[in-house]
Amino acid sequence: MVIHGLIRACARALRGRHLLEMLLVAGVYLAVARLGLSLATVAGNVTPVWPPTGVALAALLLRGPALWPGVFLGALLATSSTGVTLPTALGVAAGNTLASVLGAWLSRRMRMGTDLSRIRDVVVLCLGAGMVCTGVSSLVGPLFLWLGGTLPSEVMGHAVWVWWVGDLTGVLVVAPPLLVLSRPSWPQRLGEAVALASLTTVLGAGVFLFRALQPGLAYGASFLLFPMSAMAALRFGPRGAAAATLVISAVAIFGTVNGQGPFSSGNVAQDLLVLQLFIVVNAVTGQLLAAATEERRRAVERLQLLATTVRGVHEGVFIAEVVSPGKLHTVFANDALSLLLGRPREELLELDPCHLYGEQDSKLRQRVTDSVLAGESLCVEVSLPRKDGHLVSTEVLLSPVRATGRDVTHFVATHRDITATRELQARLVAAERVAAVGTLAAGVGHEINNPLAYLVLNLESAARALTEGGLLGARDAQAGVRGALEGAERIRLIVRDLQVFSRQGDQERTLVDLNALVPPAVRIISHALRHRARLVEEFGPVPRVLGSEARLGQVLLNLLVNAMQAVPEGNPSLHEVRVRTSTDASGRARVDVVDTGVGISAQVMSRIFEPFFTTKPTGEGTGLGLAICQQIVRNHGGELKVSSEVGKGSVFTMLLPAAPMQAEVVSRPVARAKPPMPATVRRGRVLVVDDEPRLAQSMRLLLEPYHDVVTTLRGGEALALVTAGHRFDVILCDLQMPEMDGAALYRRLGVMAPELTRRMVFISGGAYTPETRTFIETVPNLVLEKPVRPEVLMASVDAALDALAAQGKDDEDSVARAGGARH
């Protein structure tokens, strides 16, 4: 098999162009071999200067291993010219060829670059192809010369040493120029290159070609060639180092052979061996320095490219150094981050990103600190403060960098502005919420029309009874009013249920009882579902969760609408939609929405949570419902799962983590707890401020039998009354009013009459703006939601009056105690 492979290689080599290249290699090998043999120091066949090894190695690396027959032919002709026998010449040629082939194979195996621009390339050339592989020829060649009777056995060891030195210098001095100059190109600094080459040649000639220098001075002058070689390596890379080494080696060998230079002692054989050490050190040093320079240059270029790229990207980027465990110091920030935060880059370099992220949330700061300490990546959404005070929503990816090994030395963070994305998502969520409620609009309208119908009928009946007069008429009117109140109460409950699912921007987190959240969703969908399936509620013990009531209510409503649409119409007795609450094995709150509908196929199942994917006809679905549900649940730290069987129905399961006991709960802007009925009733002066005339008149009629009531429709009018000196014990104030709303009136009164602000009771219809919500969360005053039940309104006024009386008594006691102390 080996012979067959060699024959095939020879056949390939003998084809056309390969044949010419093979002959060219053989000719060049023979020419430089004659030059080397002219310097033979052992038995006329072993020389410390053997350039053919470098020629052969370069040829096999550049043109491929198929040229090895040319190397063999050149070695055979060169050895035969010394007068040895044919078997001896064949053995020596085989050893030289094998060393070159092994060197080329090892270099390719180690992926050595022929441009020698990496330190590892120089190491592979010097150690692998130079020191190791040449050992083959240095052993095989002397062995065949000894077997052929050309080489005496007593000089066998010395011959092996000289042979190896000659091959090594051939690899280190001749191969690099052939490799790096195989693609000729003019240097960018041609004038500098010519000047450096000329100076190196002149200096080398001065050191090795003149006898005038004293031996000590000559040795010292020879060291001047190292800076020249180093300069060539630093300024012109591997090309400069290879050229300088070749020039210095040629001048040094020529001078030493002619008995000149610092290494000349009269014994040429010994002088050449010592000179080769000088040449090897100079060659290795120059090539390593050139490779290191090239690697540094490439690293600087990559760093500059990276810095330019990072500065130019549209996402904000900073790089922070780990100063101490848990503490970072920003060392780089790009222009995009500076623009995003509205701060100059110099100011950003002084910030600790852990504190920058944690200004809004101490828990977030702890998460960032924990990630820094653990050396882990962190992807989080955070609102960063701009210098002008505004907040910008960003998605931050914080990644550790281990620049020096296993320890994390830096962190890189990218900031993507998601403000527009969040606004779009909020609009999509709102649109999907409206779509879900719109799907049930007919049923909701029916649920409102029924109590509205008997409310109107009962009021008409009461009016007719009062017109007729008499005791019987008064009794009938009283019954009609009670019926009207029942209808109004039903309408109030329906509106309250709708508010849960239509509240805008309801992102605050509160402790939510899922068992209390299910009934409103069920009531809204019950009318639309009754023609498709039975609706079953199954409540179990479930922990409260920390979340948004509106968002979680939207998930429940969407899942119920999805279940309703999965059930065909016509046979409500055969189908069922079941809502079940429980606690799973890990302590999480669990809500299952189970239907006996058509089920979901495996092909559809893999895509049901994809945005805009829908199996409904065009115009009947947006494909956003389940995607938004999954997003909402994930934002609450939970998961939304589904299982289904075609023809038997589906089960959607919402799992939410139980609220921790230490969770900080933000109060929701809803009606506060019903105030207790006062122990005593006192008459007070009440100011009613509401822009709805009929509502203001109704409150006046309700309160007037017990209190002195003044009504006004504008916040400005109320302020004018206070300014004019009118005294009020309680102010019932609507929150949403034109011109001056309740919050503005509160602030104005806080300047003019601060004692009145403690007596204000706010009334709201529930359509909160972010400013209104913030105001409600910060003031201690009572907030009632419309429509306010009469007994609640009365109790609120009486409780305020009692609080006022208690405060007055405390003030009197304080004055009395102060007087007693003075006495």
Is residue 285 in a domain? yes
Residues 340-377, buried b or exposed e (16+ Cβ, 10 A)? bbebebeebeebbbbebbbeeeeebbebbbebbeeeee
Q: Give yes or no: residues 328 and 237 share one domain.
A: no
Q: Give yes or no: residues 89 and 129 share one domain.
A: yes
Q: Give yes or no: residues 23 and 110 share one domain.
A: yes
Is residue 423 in a domain? no
Where is pLDDT greater, at 56 or 680?
56
Q: Give yes or no: residues 189 and 168 share one domain.
A: no
Q: Give yes or no: residues 121 and 108 share one domain.
A: yes
| Number of domains, the chain | 5
Where is pLDDT greater, at 177 or 356?
177
**What is the C-alpha to C-alpha distance for residues 286 and 280, in angstroms, rounded to an integer?**
10
Q: Give yes or no: residues 55 and 107 share one domain.
A: yes
Please give the average per-residue pLDDT across 453-470, as a whole number: 68
In one-letter notation, the amino acid at residue 333 is A
Three-class SS of 394-424: EEEEEEEECCCCCCCCEEEEEEEECHHHHHH
The pLDDT confidence band at residue 435, using thresholds 50, 70 and 90, is low
Final residue in a domain of this structure, among 134, 164, 184: 184
pLDDT digits (tens, 9 = 90+) for 571-600: 888 899 999 999 999 999 999 999 999 888
Is residue 820 in a domain? no
pLDDT at 140 over 90: yes
Where is pLDDT greater, at 60 or 208?
60
pLDDT score for 501 = 56
Please give the average per-residue pLDDT across 399-428, as a whole number: 73
In one-letter notation, the amino acid at residue 362 is S
Q: Give yes or no: residues 119 and 162 share one domain.
A: yes
Is residue 396 in a domain? yes
- C-alpha to C-alpha distances, 787 to 492, 623, 729, 792, 797, nearest whole angstrom: 7, 36, 23, 10, 16
In CATH, what number is assigned to the domain containing residue 370? 3.30.450.20
pLDDT at 664 over 90: no
Is residue 674 in a domain? no
Contacts of 115 (CB under 8 A, 6+ apart): 121, 179, 180, 238
Final residue in a domain of this structure, among 656, 673, 704: 656
Is residue 576 in a domain? yes
Cα torsion angle, 39, 44, 48, 53, sign: positive
pLDDT score for 326 = 64
Q: Give yes or no: residues 190 and 283 share one domain.
A: yes
Q: Give yes or no: residues 550 and 626 share one domain.
A: yes
**What is the C-alpha to C-alpha distance for residues 256 and 312, in angstroms, rounded to an integer?**
59
pLDDT score for 401 = 81
Quick one: which H or E segment has residue 510?
strand 510-512
Final residue in a domain of this structure, among 184, 213, 236: 184
pLDDT digits (tens, 9 = 90+) for 194-209: 888 888 888 888 888 7
Is residue 157 in a domain? yes
pLDDT score for 768 = 62
Task: State what percent of residues in the chain have pLDDT above 90.
Answer: 27
Q: Give yes or no: residues 179 and 190 share one domain.
A: no
In CATH, what number is assigned to the domain containing residue 714? 3.40.50.2300
pLDDT digits (tens, 9 = 90+) for 718-734: 999 999 989 999 999 99
Domain that holds residue 722: 685-815
Please give the average per-residue pLDDT across 213-217, as a whole number: 59
Quick one: which H or E segment has residue 594?
strand 589-595
Is residue 822 in a domain? no
Please give the average per-residue pLDDT across 340-361, as a whole number: 70
pLDDT digits (tens, 9 = 90+) for 468-486: 666 666 776 777 677 677 6
In CATH, what number is assigned to the domain containing residue 142? 1.10.1760
Task: State what percent of residues in the chain have pLDDT above 70.
Answer: 76
Q: Give yes or no: residues 161 and 197 share one domain.
A: no
Q: Give yes or no: residues 129 and 118 share one domain.
A: yes
The pLDDT confidence band at residue 120, using thresholds 50, 70 and 90, is very high
In CATH, what number is assigned to the domain containing residue 608? 3.30.565.10
pLDDT digits (tens, 9 = 90+) for 606-642: 778 776 666 665 445 555 668 778 888 988 889 999 9
Angle at the Cα of 743 (from 738 to 749), degrees rounded to 5?
110
pLDDT at 677 over 50: no
Radius of gyration of the chain (CA): 48
